[in-house]
Amino acid sequence: MPSVVLGITGGIAAYKAPELVRLFKKAGIEVICVPTAEALEFVTPLTLRTLSENPVYTDLFFESKNPAEKITHIGLAQNCDLIVIAPATANIIGKIACGIADDLLTTVVMASDKKVMIVPAMNTKMWENPIVASNVEKLKKLGYIFCGPVKGRLACGDSGVGHIEDTAEIFSRAAELLKKKK
Alpha helices, DSSP H, located in the chain: 17-26, 45-52, 72-78, 90-97, 104-111, 124-128, 130-141, 167-181
Catalytic residue list: 156
Report the DSSP beta bridge partners of residue 88: 120
Q: How far apart, in whole angstroms, are the C-alpha atoms of residue 52 and residue 20?
A: 10
Q: How far apart, in whole angstroms, are the C-alpha atoms of residue 90 and residue 82?
A: 21
Q: How many domains does the chain have?
A: 1
Whether residue 177 has pLDDT greater than 60: yes
What pLDDT is attached to residue 78?
86
Interval 15-57: pLDDT, tens:
999 999 999 999 999 999 999 999 999 999 999 999 999 999 9
Residue 169: which domain range? 3-181
Determine the Cα angle at 35 with ends 159 and 124, to 5°: 15
CATH number of the domain within which 27 lies: 3.40.50.1950
Q: How far apart, in whole angstroms, are the C-alpha atoms of residue 100 and residue 122?
A: 20
Mean pLDDT of 60-74: 65
Whether residue 69 has pLDDT greater than 70: no
Query: What is the DSSP-derived secondary structure letter of residue 164?
Result: P
Interval 96-133: pLDDT, tens:
999 999 999 999 999 999 999 999 999 999 999 999 99
Label residue 66 by pLDDT band (50, 70, 90): low
